[in-house]
Amino acid sequence: MRRILIIASGGGHSGFARAIAQYLPFKADFVVPTGDTFTLEMVKPYAERVYYVVKGREPGEPLMKLFFAIPEAVEESFKIPRYDVVVATGSNHSVFPSAVQRIKGAEVYVVESQDRFTRPGKAVKLISTFSEHVFLHWEEQRRLYGRKGLVVGPIVEKPKYQARDEGYLLVTTGSMGFMRLYKALAALGLDDVVVQTGRVDPSEVQKLNPKWRVFQFDPDIERWISGASAVITHQGKTAMESVVMYGKPTIIVYNRDWRSATTIEDARTYAEVLGAEFLDDPLTWGSTLELKRALDEMRRPKRFEIGTPKLVDEILK
């Protein structure tokens, strides 16, 4: 049996890690960011062993923070024993554990983000120089990596629930949250709304509409996706989960605070590939009528075959 190490690097990257683990026929070992309890809770049911490596920086944080974290990240990475196969899921956190494993002789694979079309992610591009393959979700991404890119299909988890319609609108905007979007939605006067706030204080969001159901994190966010009438999210992985796993009408609202993440051109293409509606950041709107129009024009998205089993076949063979 091949010894497999999966690097779960936080946010949507941890979602990729858990998806891969769900399709493996045995438990893998994981690397998670130090102090990231959300990622730890996500991967714990699928983990034989967990290692911790410091994450240099989050989206929007200064680059200098990454430089200061490098010595510690390298030291912690060398403490991890050699594995046969390593799957990195992107972000600066994946770079040092995967590079050290390659030095030790492991096969390294890396997953590109689902929303990269015009240019590759910086961390993934770096890891691709010493990886076997870069796993891609869409044919439209193939040109980013040439022969090294391997299109397997959308990398998502096994659906846990049957899709159903419980009448609420789900708003989930990743680990960073998106207060501008919450305020714009509140201005429309919609009451049957569920909001996952991320790092935004849930009590501040609750003040916008006391009838909303509000929470900071839920490791089982899939439960809320599966029961929603529709989903509003940012340019992250949840849009793909909403469409691919549960066929939900979806709106992607671009968050300009994620400067180190995808471009607006990539996000727009991402929406087109999924068959979702697209809106720029609320900063650019003339009024909340932009959001109302998108809600009125939502349609059933495209259908896709889940690509995670193909990825797992590749790393096991």
C-alpha distances (whole Å) from 239 to each of 42, 43, 113, 301 are: 18, 21, 12, 11
**Digit-coded pLDDT (tens) for 3-58:** 999 999 988 899 999 999 999 999 999 999 999 988 999 999 999 999 999 986 66
**Digit-coded pLDDT (tens) for 199-224:** 899 999 999 999 999 999 887 899 99
Sorted by sequence, the CB contacts under 8 Å of residue 37 that are 6+ apart come out as none
Please report, rounded to a whole number, the percentage of residues in the chain having pLDDT higher than 90. 81
Domains, the chain, ordered by start: 4-151 (3.40.50.2000), 169-297 (3.40.50.2000)
Tell me the two tokens of residue 70: 């490098």
Q: What is the pLDDT of residue 60?
A: 59
Enter the pTM of the model.
0.88
Please report, rounded to a whole number, the percentage of residues in the chain having pLDDT higher than 70. 95
Q: What is the pLDDT of residue 286?
A: 87
Sorted by sequence, the CB contacts under 8 Å of residue 317 that are 6+ apart come out as none
**Digit-coded pLDDT (tens) for 130-150:** 999 999 999 999 999 999 999
